[in-house]
Structure 1
């Protein structure tokens, strides 16, 4: 796929992110990919990694947006976006992302 086609696909693909990432502009510190649940859903979910269970239990604290909205302020995650469903990544203490092997989404 050429660069233009990749950019277009990323712009059209949607994701779900916490409002701490989208509205407050805080950096992504945890991300995972699950099976898509709506049209154009990439399956990617983005968090700062500091949200409480109480925060994430409230659907009003999430928004649907384009992946390009997220990568604009978090370019380091772009290389991870080709990873398959079931992938999870977290920011390590050195500022890089490491795979999270033992993580499972909550039902």
Structure 2
């Protein structure tokens, strides 16, 4: 299936129109340590200027593995990932909120619409008490 065949009300141009920032993707270390292919990926809002927002996984990561993001997700240059897997080239152009998967034995990537992209947890304290507000 090509990207043009995807049933999507938005055009590819609409789906790739975000300003491009960053040059790094976070990749599961299983891709490198176990030599497994990327089979699942999503784009979140970038965490910093060098981040594209893309998170790439093999599909074999456990919840415990994913909880230790600092140890188990490696920052890798987009160009390196494209050299390892040229099928990522078009996909990495898509906007935040995009999710893709390819199942073993499938011909290519398929768009996923029912996956909820994890959001970073941010603790915020809110007060209406002017005396508690710190400048």
TM-score range, shorter chain: 0.7 to 0.9
TM-score, normalization: structure 2?
A: 0.66
1:38-53 counterparts in 2 under 5 A?
38-53=48-63
Between 1 and 2, higher relative CO (CA 8 Å, sep ≥ 6) is seen in 1
Higher strand share: 1
Give the drift of 1:31. 0.6
Which one of 24, 32, 37 corresponds to residue 22 of structure 1? 32
TM-score, normalization: structure 1?
A: 0.81
The equivalent of 1:63 in structure 2 is 74
Higher helix share: 1
Q: Is the 8 A contact 1:15 1:67 kept in 2?
A: yes
In structure 2, the gaps of 5 or more residues are 1-19, 120-135
Tell which deviates more after alignment, 77-86 or 18-27: 18-27
In 1, Cα distance between equivalents of 2:74 and 2:87 = 21
Q: What root-mean-square deviation, in Å, do the aligned CA atoms of Structure 1 and Structure 2 show? A: 1.9
In structure 1, the gaps of 5 or more residues are 1-8
Instruction: State which structure, 1 or 2, has the greater radius of gyration over its C-alpha atoms.
Output: 2
Runs of 4+ in 1 over 3 A off after TM superposition: none
1:1-107 counterparts in 2 under 5 A?
13-59=23-69, 60-92=71-103, 93-107=105-119
> Deviation per CA, 1:54-77, whole angstroms, max 9, x where unpaired?
111112111111011211111111
In 2, Cα distance between equivalents of 1:32 and 1:47 = 9
